[in-house]
Amino acid sequence: MKLRPKTTIEQHFSAIEDKRVERTKRHLLIDIITITLCAVIAGAETWDDLELYGKCQYKWFKKFLKLPNGIPSHDTFNRVFAQLEPEQLQSCFLNWVKSISSLMPGEIVAIDGKTLRHSYAKSNDKSAIVMVSAWAQQNGLVLGQRKVDNKSNEITAIPQLLKVLYLKGAIVTIDAMGCQKEIVSQIVEKEADYVIALKKNQVGLYQRVDELFKEALLSQGVGYEYSEYIPEESGHGRTEIRRYQVLNNIQDLVDSRCEWKHLNSVACVQYYRTVKNGKTKLETRYFITSLSHEAQELSQSIRGHGSIENQLHWVLDVEFNEDSSRIRKDNAPENLAIIRHIALNLLKQDKTEKGSIRSKRNRAGWDNNYLLEILTNQ
Protein backbone atom coordinates (compact mmCIF):
# COMPACT_ATOMS: atom_id res chain seq x y z
CA MET A 1 0.00 0.00 0.00
CA LYS A 2 1.30 3.46 -0.89
CA LEU A 3 0.48 6.16 1.63
CA ARG A 4 0.28 9.86 0.75
CA PRO A 5 2.83 11.67 2.93
CA LYS A 6 5.73 11.19 0.55
CA THR A 7 3.65 12.52 -2.34
CA THR A 8 2.56 15.55 -0.32
CA ILE A 9 6.08 16.38 0.90
CA GLU A 10 7.76 15.40 -2.36
CA GLN A 11 5.67 17.71 -4.53
CA HIS A 12 6.86 20.72 -2.54
CA PHE A 13 10.38 19.77 -1.43
CA SER A 14 11.77 17.57 -4.23
CA ALA A 15 13.12 20.64 -6.06
CA ILE A 16 15.90 21.02 -3.47
CA GLU A 17 19.29 20.42 -5.07
CA ASP A 18 21.24 17.56 -3.56
CA LYS A 19 24.90 18.64 -3.58
CA ARG A 20 26.29 15.44 -2.12
CA VAL A 21 28.85 13.49 -4.13
CA GLU A 22 26.89 10.91 -6.14
CA ARG A 23 28.96 7.90 -5.06
CA THR A 24 28.45 8.76 -1.38
CA LYS A 25 24.64 8.97 -1.57
CA ARG A 26 23.36 5.99 0.38
CA HIS A 27 20.07 7.68 1.27
CA LEU A 28 17.63 9.76 -0.79
CA LEU A 29 17.37 13.43 0.18
CA ILE A 30 13.56 13.37 0.16
CA ASP A 31 13.65 10.36 2.53
CA ILE A 32 15.93 12.27 4.92
CA ILE A 33 13.68 15.36 4.85
CA THR A 34 10.52 13.29 5.35
CA ILE A 35 11.91 11.36 8.32
CA THR A 36 13.21 14.59 9.87
CA LEU A 37 9.87 16.38 9.55
CA CYS A 38 7.92 13.44 10.99
CA ALA A 39 10.39 13.05 13.85
CA VAL A 40 10.31 16.76 14.75
CA ILE A 41 6.50 16.76 14.74
CA ALA A 42 6.63 13.77 17.09
CA GLY A 43 9.06 15.46 19.51
CA ALA A 44 12.59 14.76 18.22
CA GLU A 45 15.21 17.42 19.02
CA THR A 46 18.66 15.93 18.26
CA TRP A 47 20.33 13.98 15.46
CA ASP A 48 20.30 10.89 17.68
CA ASP A 49 16.55 11.40 18.15
CA LEU A 50 16.04 11.41 14.38
CA GLU A 51 17.93 8.16 13.91
CA LEU A 52 16.14 6.45 16.79
CA TYR A 53 12.71 7.62 15.62
CA GLY A 54 13.44 6.42 12.09
CA LYS A 55 14.49 2.98 13.30
CA CYS A 56 11.43 2.65 15.55
CA GLN A 57 9.13 3.66 12.67
CA TYR A 58 11.03 1.79 9.95
CA LYS A 59 8.14 -0.50 8.95
CA TRP A 60 5.77 2.46 8.64
CA PHE A 61 8.25 4.58 6.65
CA LYS A 62 8.95 1.64 4.35
CA LYS A 63 5.33 1.82 3.15
CA PHE A 64 5.95 5.12 1.34
CA LEU A 65 9.73 5.79 1.32
CA LYS A 66 12.33 3.90 -0.71
CA LEU A 67 14.97 3.69 2.06
CA PRO A 68 17.51 1.87 -0.17
CA ASN A 69 19.94 1.46 2.73
CA GLY A 70 17.62 1.59 5.71
CA ILE A 71 17.40 4.52 8.11
CA PRO A 72 20.18 7.15 7.90
CA SER A 73 22.57 7.46 10.84
CA HIS A 74 22.66 10.50 13.10
CA ASP A 75 25.90 11.56 11.40
CA THR A 76 24.18 11.47 8.01
CA PHE A 77 21.33 13.68 9.22
CA ASN A 78 23.93 16.10 10.61
CA ARG A 79 26.00 16.24 7.42
CA VAL A 80 23.02 16.62 5.10
CA PHE A 81 21.41 19.50 6.99
CA ALA A 82 24.78 21.21 7.47
CA GLN A 83 25.30 21.18 3.67
CA LEU A 84 21.73 21.89 2.56
CA GLU A 85 21.23 25.40 1.15
CA PRO A 86 18.74 27.19 3.45
CA GLU A 87 17.56 29.41 0.57
CA GLN A 88 16.32 26.32 -1.27
CA LEU A 89 14.53 24.92 1.76
CA GLN A 90 13.06 28.38 2.40
CA SER A 91 11.82 28.62 -1.20
CA CYS A 92 10.09 25.24 -0.94
CA PHE A 93 8.63 26.29 2.41
CA LEU A 94 7.14 29.45 0.86
CA ASN A 95 5.55 27.51 -2.01
CA TRP A 96 4.08 25.01 0.44
CA VAL A 97 2.61 27.77 2.66
CA LYS A 98 1.00 29.39 -0.39
CA SER A 99 -0.60 26.05 -1.28
CA ILE A 100 -2.28 25.56 2.12
CA SER A 101 -3.39 29.08 3.05
CA SER A 102 -4.29 32.55 1.85
CA LEU A 103 -4.21 35.82 3.76
CA MET A 104 -7.51 37.23 4.93
CA PRO A 105 -8.22 40.91 4.08
CA GLY A 106 -6.68 43.04 6.82
CA GLU A 107 -4.85 40.09 8.37
CA ILE A 108 -2.08 41.11 10.74
CA VAL A 109 1.35 39.85 9.66
CA ALA A 110 3.82 40.38 12.50
CA ILE A 111 7.53 40.42 11.65
CA ASP A 112 10.07 39.95 14.42
CA GLY A 113 13.42 38.35 15.18
CA LYS A 114 14.28 35.51 17.55
CA THR A 115 17.72 34.40 18.73
CA LEU A 116 18.53 30.67 18.76
CA ARG A 117 20.43 31.07 22.01
CA HIS A 118 22.54 27.91 21.99
CA SER A 119 23.42 28.00 18.29
CA TYR A 120 26.65 29.88 19.02
CA ALA A 121 30.00 28.07 18.88
CA LYS A 122 32.91 29.36 20.97
CA SER A 123 35.37 27.12 19.12
CA ASN A 124 35.11 29.15 15.90
CA ASP A 125 33.78 32.41 17.37
CA LYS A 126 30.39 31.85 15.74
CA SER A 127 27.66 34.00 17.27
CA ALA A 128 24.13 32.78 17.95
CA ILE A 129 21.81 32.74 14.94
CA VAL A 130 18.94 35.23 14.73
CA MET A 131 15.94 34.28 12.59
CA VAL A 132 13.47 36.93 11.42
CA SER A 133 10.03 35.42 10.87
CA ALA A 134 6.68 36.56 9.50
CA TRP A 135 3.63 35.36 11.47
CA ALA A 136 0.06 35.52 10.11
CA GLN A 137 -2.06 36.08 13.21
CA GLN A 138 -5.50 34.91 12.05
CA ASN A 139 -4.17 31.92 10.12
CA GLY A 140 -1.77 31.02 12.92
CA LEU A 141 0.98 30.26 10.41
CA VAL A 142 4.61 31.11 9.82
CA LEU A 143 4.68 32.67 6.34
CA GLY A 144 8.45 32.73 5.97
CA GLN A 145 11.76 33.31 7.69
CA ARG A 146 15.22 34.69 7.01
CA LYS A 147 18.47 34.34 8.90
CA VAL A 148 20.18 37.56 9.96
CA ASP A 149 23.64 37.67 8.39
CA ASN A 150 26.63 37.55 10.73
CA LYS A 151 27.89 40.99 11.79
CA SER A 152 24.54 42.48 10.77
CA ASN A 153 21.11 43.00 12.36
CA GLU A 154 17.43 42.56 11.65
CA ILE A 155 17.32 45.69 9.47
CA THR A 156 19.09 43.80 6.66
CA ALA A 157 17.01 40.62 6.99
CA ILE A 158 13.56 42.26 7.01
CA PRO A 159 13.76 43.56 3.38
CA GLN A 160 14.99 40.15 2.21
CA LEU A 161 12.03 38.48 3.91
CA LEU A 162 9.49 41.03 2.65
CA LYS A 163 10.77 40.47 -0.89
CA VAL A 164 9.59 36.84 -0.98
CA LEU A 165 6.26 37.23 0.85
CA TYR A 166 2.81 37.72 -0.67
CA LEU A 167 1.27 40.47 1.48
CA LYS A 168 -1.50 42.07 -0.60
CA GLY A 169 -4.23 43.40 1.70
CA ALA A 170 -2.36 42.54 4.91
CA ILE A 171 -1.38 44.82 7.80
CA VAL A 172 2.35 44.38 8.45
CA THR A 173 3.48 45.13 12.00
CA ILE A 174 7.13 45.55 12.98
CA ASP A 175 8.88 46.80 16.10
CA ALA A 176 11.16 49.85 16.09
CA MET A 177 13.99 47.94 14.40
CA GLY A 178 11.96 48.05 11.18
CA CYS A 179 11.33 51.80 11.27
CA GLN A 180 13.14 52.52 8.00
CA LYS A 181 11.93 54.46 4.95
CA GLU A 182 13.04 51.68 2.60
CA ILE A 183 11.09 49.05 4.57
CA VAL A 184 7.96 51.24 4.57
CA SER A 185 8.26 51.71 0.79
CA GLN A 186 8.69 47.98 0.27
CA ILE A 187 5.53 47.18 2.26
CA VAL A 188 3.52 49.72 0.25
CA GLU A 189 4.86 48.26 -3.01
CA LYS A 190 3.55 44.89 -1.79
CA GLU A 191 0.07 46.50 -1.63
CA ALA A 192 -0.05 46.12 2.14
CA ASP A 193 -0.51 48.52 5.04
CA TYR A 194 1.91 48.98 7.92
CA VAL A 195 1.96 49.71 11.64
CA ILE A 196 5.54 50.27 12.80
CA ALA A 197 6.91 51.36 16.18
CA LEU A 198 8.77 54.66 15.97
CA LYS A 199 12.27 54.63 17.42
CA LYS A 200 13.93 57.58 19.11
CA ASN A 201 16.96 57.59 16.82
CA GLN A 202 14.64 58.67 13.99
CA VAL A 203 15.23 62.04 15.60
CA GLY A 204 13.36 64.37 13.26
CA LEU A 205 10.23 62.27 12.84
CA TYR A 206 10.12 61.19 16.49
CA GLN A 207 10.39 64.77 17.71
CA ARG A 208 7.67 66.01 15.33
CA VAL A 209 5.28 63.22 16.37
CA ASP A 210 6.00 63.86 20.05
CA GLU A 211 5.33 67.58 19.66
CA LEU A 212 2.19 66.94 17.62
CA PHE A 213 0.62 64.83 20.36
CA LYS A 214 1.51 67.42 23.01
CA GLU A 215 -0.20 70.11 20.93
CA ALA A 216 -3.25 67.93 20.29
CA LEU A 217 -3.63 67.15 24.00
CA LEU A 218 -3.31 70.82 24.96
CA SER A 219 -6.15 71.64 22.58
CA GLN A 220 -8.10 68.54 23.75
CA GLY A 221 -8.09 67.29 20.17
CA VAL A 222 -9.75 70.39 18.74
CA GLY A 223 -8.51 71.03 15.20
CA TYR A 224 -7.23 67.48 14.79
CA GLU A 225 -8.71 64.18 13.65
CA TYR A 226 -8.22 62.75 17.12
CA SER A 227 -9.53 59.56 18.73
CA GLU A 228 -8.82 57.80 22.01
CA TYR A 229 -9.41 54.33 23.44
CA ILE A 230 -8.70 53.12 27.00
CA PRO A 231 -9.27 49.43 27.83
CA GLU A 232 -8.42 48.32 31.39
CA GLU A 233 -6.92 44.96 32.19
CA SER A 234 -5.86 43.13 35.33
CA GLY A 235 -3.82 40.01 35.86
CA HIS A 236 -0.65 38.50 37.34
CA GLY A 237 -0.88 40.76 40.38
CA ARG A 238 -0.93 44.01 38.45
CA THR A 239 -3.38 46.39 36.85
CA GLU A 240 -2.51 47.75 33.43
CA ILE A 241 -4.16 50.64 31.65
CA ARG A 242 -3.34 51.26 28.02
CA ARG A 243 -4.26 54.61 26.55
CA TYR A 244 -4.37 54.60 22.75
CA GLN A 245 -4.41 58.00 21.05
CA VAL A 246 -4.50 58.38 17.27
CA LEU A 247 -4.15 61.37 14.96
CA ASN A 248 -5.26 60.82 11.35
CA ASN A 249 -4.33 62.66 8.13
CA ILE A 250 -1.13 64.09 9.56
CA GLN A 251 1.47 63.51 6.83
CA ASP A 252 1.76 67.22 5.97
CA LEU A 253 2.31 67.98 9.67
CA VAL A 254 5.08 65.46 10.39
CA ASP A 255 6.41 64.46 6.95
CA SER A 256 5.93 67.38 4.57
CA ARG A 257 8.46 65.92 2.11
CA CYS A 258 6.53 62.63 1.94
CA GLU A 259 9.67 60.63 2.73
CA TRP A 260 7.60 57.99 4.56
CA LYS A 261 5.40 56.44 1.90
CA HIS A 262 1.62 56.51 2.54
CA LEU A 263 2.10 57.77 6.11
CA ASN A 264 -1.45 58.62 7.15
CA SER A 265 -1.70 58.42 10.94
CA VAL A 266 0.39 58.35 14.09
CA ALA A 267 -0.44 56.66 17.37
CA CYS A 268 0.64 57.23 20.94
CA VAL A 269 0.27 54.35 23.39
CA GLN A 270 0.76 55.04 27.09
CA TYR A 271 1.11 52.02 29.37
CA TYR A 272 0.24 52.60 33.04
CA ARG A 273 1.24 49.56 35.09
CA THR A 274 0.38 49.26 38.79
CA VAL A 275 2.28 46.41 40.44
CA LYS A 276 1.70 44.65 43.78
CA ASN A 277 3.48 47.29 45.87
CA GLY A 278 1.13 49.95 44.53
CA LYS A 279 3.70 51.74 42.41
CA THR A 280 2.66 52.89 38.95
CA LYS A 281 5.03 52.88 35.99
CA LEU A 282 4.43 54.82 32.78
CA GLU A 283 5.81 53.90 29.37
CA THR A 284 5.06 55.82 26.17
CA ARG A 285 5.50 54.48 22.64
CA TYR A 286 4.76 56.03 19.26
CA PHE A 287 3.74 54.30 16.03
CA ILE A 288 3.46 55.32 12.38
CA THR A 289 0.88 53.75 10.08
CA SER A 290 -0.60 53.92 6.60
CA LEU A 291 -4.03 53.14 8.06
CA SER A 292 -6.74 55.70 8.78
CA HIS A 293 -8.26 53.69 11.64
CA GLU A 294 -9.51 55.30 14.81
CA ALA A 295 -7.89 54.39 18.13
CA GLN A 296 -9.97 51.34 19.08
CA GLU A 297 -9.54 49.64 15.71
CA LEU A 298 -5.85 50.51 15.45
CA SER A 299 -5.24 49.11 18.95
CA GLN A 300 -5.98 45.65 17.54
CA SER A 301 -3.05 45.90 15.13
CA ILE A 302 -0.70 47.27 17.78
CA ARG A 303 -1.62 44.57 20.27
CA GLY A 304 -1.75 41.96 17.51
CA HIS A 305 1.99 42.31 17.00
CA GLY A 306 2.46 40.52 20.32
CA SER A 307 0.98 37.35 18.82
CA ILE A 308 4.34 36.51 17.23
CA GLU A 309 5.91 36.41 20.69
CA ASN A 310 3.07 34.51 22.38
CA GLN A 311 2.06 32.13 19.60
CA LEU A 312 5.36 31.55 17.78
CA HIS A 313 8.48 32.39 19.80
CA TRP A 314 7.07 31.10 23.09
CA VAL A 315 5.84 27.86 21.48
CA LEU A 316 9.21 27.26 19.80
CA ASP A 317 11.01 27.77 23.12
CA VAL A 318 8.65 25.88 25.42
CA GLU A 319 7.20 23.16 23.19
CA PHE A 320 10.08 22.64 20.73
CA ASN A 321 12.94 23.49 23.14
CA GLU A 322 14.49 25.62 20.42
CA ASP A 323 16.57 27.75 22.77
CA SER A 324 18.23 24.62 24.19
CA SER A 325 19.15 23.16 20.80
CA ARG A 326 22.90 22.49 20.51
CA ILE A 327 22.78 22.02 16.74
CA ARG A 328 25.46 24.40 15.46
CA LYS A 329 27.28 23.09 12.40
CA ASP A 330 27.23 25.23 9.24
CA ASN A 331 23.68 25.55 7.82
CA ALA A 332 22.12 23.01 10.17
CA PRO A 333 20.71 25.46 12.79
CA GLU A 334 18.94 27.56 10.14
CA ASN A 335 17.61 24.51 8.30
CA LEU A 336 16.29 22.91 11.49
CA ALA A 337 14.61 26.21 12.41
CA ILE A 338 12.76 26.06 9.08
CA ILE A 339 11.80 22.42 9.74
CA ARG A 340 10.39 23.45 13.14
CA HIS A 341 8.33 26.15 11.43
CA ILE A 342 6.96 23.58 8.98
CA ALA A 343 6.12 21.23 11.86
CA LEU A 344 4.41 24.00 13.82
CA ASN A 345 2.39 25.08 10.77
CA LEU A 346 1.20 21.51 10.23
CA LEU A 347 0.23 21.15 13.89
CA LYS A 348 -1.57 24.51 13.86
CA GLN A 349 -3.46 23.59 10.70
CA ASP A 350 -4.79 20.38 12.23
CA LYS A 351 -8.35 20.82 13.52
CA THR A 352 -9.09 17.19 14.42
CA GLU A 353 -7.25 17.42 17.75
CA LYS A 354 -8.37 20.26 20.03
CA GLY A 355 -5.54 19.91 22.54
CA SER A 356 -2.32 21.88 22.96
CA ILE A 357 0.70 21.68 20.67
CA ARG A 358 2.26 19.38 23.27
CA SER A 359 -0.67 16.96 23.20
CA LYS A 360 -0.74 17.00 19.40
CA ARG A 361 2.97 16.17 19.24
CA ASN A 362 2.54 13.36 21.75
CA ARG A 363 -0.34 11.88 19.79
CA ALA A 364 1.61 12.18 16.52
CA GLY A 365 4.45 10.23 18.13
CA TRP A 366 2.12 7.50 19.35
CA ASP A 367 -0.44 7.31 16.54
CA ASN A 368 0.79 7.03 12.95
CA ASN A 369 -2.73 7.48 11.57
CA TYR A 370 -2.93 10.87 13.26
CA LEU A 371 0.55 11.79 12.00
CA LEU A 372 -0.64 10.89 8.51
CA GLU A 373 -3.62 13.24 8.91
CA ILE A 374 -1.25 16.05 9.92
CA LEU A 375 1.09 15.46 6.99
CA THR A 376 -1.70 15.35 4.41
CA ASN A 377 -3.65 18.20 6.07
CA GLN A 378 -6.88 16.16 6.08
pLDDT digits (tens, 9 = 90+) for 263-310: 999 999 999 888 777 788 899 999 999 999 999 999 999 999 999 999
Cβ-proximal residues to 24 (8 Å cutoff; 6+ apart), any chain: none
| Closest alpha carbon to 317 in 340, 339, 294 | 340
Q: How far apart are CA 343 and CA 44, in angstroms?
A: 11
pLDDT at 136: 95
pLDDT at 5: 59
Let me know whether 205 and 288 are in one domain: yes
Cβ-proximal residues to 366 (8 Å cutoff; 6+ apart), any chain: none
- Domain endpoint, select from 292, 320, 352: 292
Q: How far apart are CA 35 and CA 54, in angstroms?
A: 6
Within a domain: 37: yes
Let me know whether 23 and 80 are in one domain: yes
Let me know whether 209 and 287 are in one domain: yes
DSSP readout, 253-274? Answer: HH-TT--STT--EEEEEEEEEE
Let me know whether 229 and 282 are in one domain: yes
Helix then strand then coil, in percent of the chain rounded to 5, is 45, 20, 35
Within a domain: 98: no
Is residue 77 within 8 Å of residue 335, measured between CB atoms? Answer: no
- Domain endpoint, select from 270, 292, 314: 292
Q: Which of 17-21, 131-135, 156-160 has the lowest mean pLDDT?
A: 17-21
Mean pLDDT for 187-204 is 93
Three-state DSSP at 358 gives helix
Which value, to the nearest 10 degrees, does the dihedral of the CA atoms of residues 40, 42, 43, 48 take? -70
Give the global pTM: 0.90
Within a domain: 103: no
In this predicted structure, the answer to whether residue 150 has a pLDDT above a threshold of 80 is no
Which residue range forms the structural domain that includes residue 18?
Answer: 5-92+329-376
- Domain endpoint, select from 276, 292, 308: 292
Within a domain: 214: yes
Q: Compute the C-alpha angle 16/21/24, nearest 5°.
A: 110
Let me know whether 264 and 348 are in one domain: no
Domain count, the chain: 2
Tens digits of residue pLDDT in 215-244: 998 998 888 999 999 987 655 556 788 999
DSSP readout, 66-114? Answer: --BTBSPPHHHHHHHHHHS-HHHHHHHHHHHHHHH--PPTT-EEEEEEE
Burial string for 208-222 (b: 16+ CB within 10 Å, else e) reads: bbbebbeebeeeeee
Within a domain: 75: yes
Within a domain: 110: no
Within a domain: 287: yes
> Rounded to 5 degrees, what are φ and ψ at 198?
-95, 125
The bridge status of strand 193-197 relative to strand 280-289 is antiparallel
Mean pLDDT for 183-210 is 94
pLDDT at 237: 58
Give the CA radius of gyration of the chain: 23
Within a domain: 271: yes
Total Cβ atoms within 10 A of residue 40: 23
DSSP readout, 211-230? Answer: HHHHHHHHTTTTTSEEEEE-
